[in-house]
Every structure is written in C-alpha cells, then in structure tokens.
Structure 1
Amino acid sequence: MSPKLSTKRALSQIPSPTTMHNTKKPRLAAVSRAGRQDILGEGRWKDWPAPAEDLKAARTFMKQCAERRLPTILVPDKDADGLSSGLILYRTLNGLGLPPESIHVHFIAKGTNVFSASERARLECLAIAISGGGDLDSTSSEVRVIYVDQGSRGGPPLLQPLLDEGRVMVRTMVVDHHQSDDFAEGSQVLTACKSPPICTSSLLTYLMCYPLESSIPEACAWLALLGIFGDLGPSEIKFGDVEGHWPVSEEMLRLGATIKVVKKKALSDSVSLLNAPRRTPEFNVQSAWDALLSADGPTTIINNTELRRLRFRINEEVERCSRAAPQFSKDGCVALLRIDSQFQVHPVVAIRWASRLKGKDLKMIMVVNPSHHPDPNLVSFSCRIPASLRKVAETAQPDLQQLLKDYSAKVDDGFMARVGDDYARGHKQATGGIIPRAEFELLASKGMEVAARAVRRVDEASVDGQRKIKDFFSKG
C-alpha cells in the first residue's frame, strides 16, 4: 500500500471539526494505518515539540493558574501566530475553570518589546492592579504572567518576583519558538527552538494544551493552524505525510483533517487580516484580538469589515514600497532595499522580493525602514532568505542571524555592544532588528559594503510580476 493512499485512509479516521461532538477520540491503532505511528512524548519524538519535562512543567503551571484561581496575564505577540497562541491559552485556562475576569490580555506598545523598561513598568502596574486573588495570606497575593511568541533572550527577570513592597508575588512563564541559548532569569521556559523540526508558537501551545481540557483538541485546532499558516505558510507541514520530517500522530492528523474543513484559502486570508492592524501606524492590535476572540472560525474573520479595510490600506502601502530598487553587497550575498513608511511593511516587502530574486551568491534580502519606529533615531529592518533556497535541506540554508553577526564584525569591535540585543533577533531564515540609524549606515557601508549606486527603479509592471526578474535590474 502506498504511503499516500494509507495516509488518506488514516486521515479518514479523524473526525472533522464539524462532526467531532459526542464522538470518541480516534484510536492510535487506526492512525497507525498511515504506515507509521508516532506518539508525541515517546521514541524519537520524546522531546518534541519541546523537551518532555518542560511540557510537563508548563501544563502544571497552567493547571495551578486555574485550580488556585490566580489572576493571570497573557502577553501574546501581535501577529497571527502570537494572537492564536494567546487565544489557545485563554480557552484552555477558561476551560480548566479560570473565569474570564481573572484572565487579562496585555499587548506591548508600538516600538517596544517585553524586555524594554517601559513594558516592564506597564506590566508591573497591571500585576499590582489585578492582584488580590490566589490562596496566599491576606497581606499578599500571587499573579501569573505568560509570555507567548515574544522572543527570548538572557538577562534580568521579565518582572521582579516581588512587587508592591513584597505584597504581590509574580511567577512568569515563557512559551516561544525563536532561536535563543539564553532566557530571562526566573522564568519557567517552554521553547521549541531546540526540538527540530521547530514548530510555531501556536502549534507548541496547542500540543501543550491538548491533553489539559477535553474541548481543546477540537475547538482550538483551527487556531493552531492560523499560527502555522502565519509563520510557515500553507505548505510547510504536510500533515500525515509518512515520508516527511514532521510527525504523523493523532494530534497532527487532527490538524490535517481540520484543514479539509476550514480550507487553506480561508486560513491564509484570515492570517493576512489578523496581521493588518499591527502593520498600520495606529498599531491597534486590540482590534485583531477582539475579532479573533469573537470568531468561531476563519469565515467570521474573513467577513470582518474593519479588518478588511485595514488590509486594503496595507496592500496599497506594500505595492508602493515594493517599487524600491535593490542595492547589492560587494560579495553578492545581500540585496538591500530602502523604503520609507510609517506602516510595518518592511517584512512583507522582504518576503515579496525573496520570492523573486535569485543569484548564485545571494543569501539575504534585507529591507530597511527608517520611518516605522516612533524614535526617529532608530531604523527597523527585516531579512529573509531567497525563496529558492527554502527548497534545499534546512541544514544547507543560510543562517541569516550568523550572517548579520559576520558583517557586524567587519564594522568594528564595538558594533554589537552599541546596537544591543535588538539586532539579529528571530529565526535563522527570518530575522531583523531595530538599531540606531547611524549604526545601520555603518553596517551597510563597512560591513556589507553595499554599492552606493542602486539599480534602476522598478516600475509598476515589475511589481506586478509581468517582467522577468533579470530585466528588473539592468543598470540605468
């Protein structure tokens, strides 16, 4: 029996989200007909999607929040992966018995991150304001904080363990998948970054919450897929593919069955709509959360008129900025595009150009935007590998974080210290940063040795893909 046919038969054993009510959990014996039976937490998947002991500890953390009725703050990232992860946590805590009024959702301000002093201060104020619950004595209380998809780095505690002169005890947990060897002091950590294939935060959260509450496998499957489609695209994971490098398990087959019901296009459209608010100058992430919180599936999001209006604005800005012309580094490894926009479209422009540019030595498409950050002295930049290189084995793909560090070494010995921790963050194949404008110009001129003269400006026909890429860049 061919793997394709047997996988299809195995998928048929998983109830679809529209028929899962009052049905039994699919038996692993049925799943094994796919030709391979993977049980997460056992065998080669013992430490996938994250180390088994960390998964166990994270589940205990969640259960304690609900059992002890502790005020809990969720701090999800602003994109589709972060928002969907946050809602899976919200649904799970609520399903375990923590009432909605005890769950508080906090979004970071534009131009900041969870490691910045201003965000620490905002979260400290919120923790003190909501304290008073829990089972500590009458003079003190406990607050839990869960950071999800916010990136990871070493350093001091994200929040001090004792606030308000010791009257508020704070415990934090980080749920993440971004590359990092170090983590904030005192936080419990659940990370997928050392457990290949590295999953999204939404998939990590879904698999962590999967056994905690009976409604989660069905109710949150589409949310897990939103994050997967947002970060990896619709085709990276072939659910049920026995010859692929992702596991074939009950949980993953359930997700594959859910795709058949909610459809790939609906998921992709929902991702672009949920990402729209955070890309606008107004940065109203709350509107995306509200839309997701009230949705019963992708169709509800697709029909949200406010999100559609915001996406239209984003699309217009992407079209305008995509006409920038690339400059190339001396070694041919970098294509640099400069745009000027208050919208956060530099990652989208980088992805767009990554799908078009090819070159023997090309490893990185970089888009820099000096107008997005509220501080005029800082620039934001985003980097992606050419789409053609995503077809090669992951081990053979360029490590853009390391490439940026290599270029920084050519600037001077003090460059890394000056730019700080907001340089080369994220993933090996999708990175970026926020650094002083003057330092970026040093990186471009001395580190990458980008040619001062740009190729001819790309016209509208080029943006729409009507001309061959080799015709875009004739010097003029």
Structure 2
Amino acid sequence: MGAAEKIEQAHAWPADPAAMEAGRALLRKHAQKRWALVPDGDVDGLSAGMLAYRALARLGAEVVPVLPGKGEHVHTDALRARIVAARPDALVVLDMGSRGGPIVPGLPTLLVDHHAPVSGFPPGATVVSAFGHPPVAATSLLAFHLLREVADLSDSVWLGLLGAVADLGTDPLPDAVKAMMAGVARTSLREAIALLNAPRRSAEHDIGLAWGVLMAARDPADIAKGRVPGVDKLGAIRAEIAAEVTRCGRSRPYFAPRAVLLPFRSGARVHPLVAVRAAARFPDRIVIAANYDYLPGRVNFAMRSRAEPDLLGYLHGLGVPLTGDSGHGHPGATGGSMPYEDFERLLAAIGFQAPPAP
C-alpha cells in the first residue's frame, strides 16, 4: 500500500471502505442461511445487534440471538458453547472488542466494533472496525452504515442514533450524528438509553429483557413513554441501580500520587457509574472504582479521569501484565477484570500503599 492509499484509508469514515465491502460480501454470501448474532449488552451493542437482526432477517436469513451472560464475551467458554449449540452457518459479533484468539474455528465470522484492538483480531474473521477512523463511530452507527447497503433500514435510523448517543453523548452532538436527529427528541433518546442500560448493570444481568423491549419498539419514544411491554420492569431495575450507585459511591477513598481508589462490594455492575461520578469529585486525579463482588474471585474495575486524556495509554504504560480481561475500551474509559492478586500488583504499580479490600 502506497503513502497516498494509507492517508486515504486513515481518513475513511466510519471504517476502511475495503473492510466495509468485505463485510457486506460476507452478509450477502450467507444471506439465506442460519446466523448466530452476539451483541454486547450495553445500548450501543444492543442497538447494533438489532440493526444486524433486522438486516439479516430482511435478507432472508434465520437469526438466532445469543446474548451474553454476566462477565461473558465471545472468547469465554460458556458463551462459545451456546454459539456452537445454536448450530449456525455464520456468526456476527457486535461491540464486544477484539481479541487475537479464535471464536469458533471454521465458522464464517463478521466482527463489527469500534474499540482499540488490544490483542489483535480473531484469525479468519472479517473485521469492520471504526477504530483509527476519526471521529470514531459508535458500533451501532458503524453497523447502520455497513448494513443499509445490503437491506432496507430506512425505518431503523433511530437504532444507529440510539447507540451513538449512548456512547458519544449529545453535547456537543458529533457532526456525523446531526443529520440523523430529525424528528427524534433528545429527551426520549436519553430516557430510552437509561432504561435499556439498566439490566446489564443489575446483579441478575437479564439482557434478554432489554433485547425484548428494543425488538418491540418502533422508535425511542416507545421505550421512553412505556408503550411496549417490559418498560415497567426496566424502570424498577433502574431505580435499584441508582440506589446502589449512591451506596457504593460513598466508599472511603484511598489516594496515590496521581490516582484515587474507591473499593466496594456489589453484585451489580455499578463500578463504571461510580467512576464517572467520582471523576467529577476528583478532577485532578485518575479515578479507579473497584468492585470486589461482581464476579467470584475477581476485582472488576473502571477507570475515568478529567486529568488524564489517555487512560488506555496510562494503563498499558504501567509495566504490569494486564491479566484476565483488562485494558480494553477507549482512551477516556477503560478498566477490566482481574484476580485479586493481579489487581493488588496493579495498584502497587500505580502507587497505592496496599489499601485493604473492602
């Protein structure tokens, strides 16, 4: 590839055009076959997944959603076993990050994502990645641009918008999203996002509830105004999570030269929300919200900061092996899941003097 081609590729949006065409070719090749569809459980992942579901169904495919359980991704044994049990002819994975190991060897796989590829891509997979193509699109926005060329998604623009606003926010609204906002109220988007995100944060981790609500909705107002079944349950879970965030956010802070640690125990996935709130309280430090009770034998942690623009670079620059499933995400939002002993080594590298577990 010559210098001019490299420059053109780097400025392509929302992803490399050759990769986009390869993804579309794979979709067309297996258009009327049986697909397993695996989305991440947040709003961006679920919105991207619903776009893929609609596009594949409209192409004539049989689509089997395989939703992640608590602490799962496509490289965990339990989720891989469910993919195999679905007996698919092809697989599409959305918004789950990228890792260098195989998912299901020999299975045609399309991976659509926007995270930094920390350990490469699955061998043999067709990868469509927004990473490195600024402004980096949310996976749902990337999926919309990818899929609208293979199926009619004129009634699904709001799904691309929903995930984009969930990941990117609305203030200021990115130029790439502005044209999609016609007729869509920001208040409905925000309310729908808050409701749909609630199950993945709860200890029960019932992603199927959010998926069912999203499947029944025709627009974000259907969710925000409770016009589809299941929204009342989402609201109750949302209230439970809000109370848990408040409780865990009161944890005693421990300080290192550049960072602050908030350790706590919760069965809910509240560490990212605790970290976001604490970043406002400690604007001159890197915030680490550490949950010692989300998964057995592990510490799940989230890092946020107003002082450090590249948290991924900071984390990888500590010289500590990032074991388990850590060091993914974005420059402004990262974290992971580690065994207790490995997390203690990470804290020591940051400069904490052996703070006690909660």
TM over 0.5: yes
Q: 2:24 aligns with which of 28, 51, 59?
A: 59
Q: Give CA deviations for 1:143-172 in whole Å, capped at 9, x if unaligned.
A: 0100000110212x21021xxxxxxxx211
- How far apart are the structure 2 equivalents of 1:189 and 1:307? 33
1:282 counterpart SS class: coil
Q: CA deviation at 1:192?
A: 0.6
Aligned to 1:151: 97
2:268 alignment partner AA: F
Q: CA deviation at 1:210?
A: 2.3
Asked if 1:296 is matched to 2:218, the reply is yes
Asked if the contact 2:300–2:338 (Cα under 8 Å) also holds between the matched residues in 1, the reply is yes
Asked if 1:307 is matched to 2:234, the reply is yes
- How far apart are the structure 2 equivalents of 1:47 and 1:54? 11
Q: CA deviation at 1:199?
A: 0.9
- How far apart are the structure 1 equivalents of 2:252 and 2:166? 27
Q: CA deviation at 1:238?
A: 3.5
Aligned to 2:105: 160
The 1:366/1:117 distance shift into structure 2, 3 A limit, reads same
Q: CA deviation at 1:436?
A: 0.6
Q: 2:39 aligns with which of 71, 76, 89?
A: 76
Aligned to 1:401: 312
For structure 2, the residue ranges without an aligned partner over 5 or more in a row are 1-6
The 1:439/1:70 distance shift into structure 2, 3 A limit, reads same
Aligned to 2:259: 334
- How far apart are the structure 2 equivalents of 1:46 and 1:92? 27
More displaced 10-residue stretch of structure 1: 423-432 or 81-90: 423-432
Query: What TM-score does the superposition give when structure 1 sets the normalisation length?
Result: 0.69
1:55 alignment partner AA: M
Asked if the contact 2:39–2:67 (Cα under 8 Å) also holds between the matched residues in 1, the reply is yes
Aligned to 2:3: none
Could you say which structure has the larger radius of gyration? Answer: 1
Query: What TM-score does the superposition give when structure 2 sets the normalisation length?
Result: 0.90
Asked if 1:347 is matched to 2:285, the reply is no
1:212 alignment partner AA: V
Aligned to 2:332: 429
| Paired residues for 1:168-179 under 5 Å | 170-179=107-116
How many residue pairs get aligned? The number is 344
The 1:112/1:45 distance shift into structure 2, 3 A limit, reads closer
Asked if 1:208 is matched to 2:146, the reply is yes
Aligned to 1:441: 344
The 1:262/1:316 distance shift into structure 2, 3 A limit, reads same
Asked if the contact 1:120–1:158 (Cα under 8 Å) also holds between the matched residues in 2, the reply is yes
1:366 counterpart SS class: strand
Aligned to 1:325: 252
The 1:125/1:97 distance shift into structure 2, 3 A limit, reads closer
More displaced 10-residue stretch of structure 1: 112-121 or 290-299: 112-121
1:180 alignment partner AA: P
Aligned to 1:273: 195
The 1:298/1:403 distance shift into structure 2, 3 A limit, reads same
Q: 2:156 aligns with which of 212, 215, 220?
A: 220
Asked if the contact 2:269–2:294 (Cα under 8 Å) also holds between the matched residues in 1, the reply is yes
Asked if the contact 2:10–2:133 (Cα under 8 Å) also holds between the matched residues in 1, the reply is no
- How far apart are the structure 2 equivalents of 1:254 and 1:160? 40
The 1:453/1:421 distance shift into structure 2, 3 A limit, reads closer
- How far apart are the structure 1 equivalents of 2:77 and 2:256? 36
The 1:45/1:123 distance shift into structure 2, 3 A limit, reads same
- How far apart are the structure 1 equivalents of 2:151 and 2:34? 19
- How far apart are the structure 1 equivalents of 2:83 and 2:199? 22
Q: CA deviation at 1:424?
A: 1.0
Aligned to 1:237: 173
Aligned to 1:382: 302
Aligned to 2:60: 97
2:301 counterpart SS class: strand
Asked if 1:371 is matched to 2:293, the reply is yes
More displaced 10-residue stretch of structure 1: 349-358 or 301-310: 349-358
2:132 counterpart SS class: coil
Q: Give CA deviations for 1:62-110 in whole Å, capped at 9, x if unaligned.
A: 22232xx110111000000000000011111222233xxx110001221
Q: CA deviation at 1:45?
A: 8.4
- How far apart are the structure 2 equivalents of 1:221 and 1:343? 31
Aligned to 2:82: 122
1:75 counterpart SS class: strand
Q: Give CA deviations for 1:100-135 in whole Å, capped at 9, x if unaligned.
A: xx11000122122211223222221222xxx5xxxx
Asked if the contact 1:78–1:107 (Cα under 8 Å) also holds between the matched residues in 2, the reply is yes
Asked if 1:87 is matched to 2:50, the reply is yes
2:173 alignment partner AA: I
Q: CA deviation at 1:202?
A: 0.5
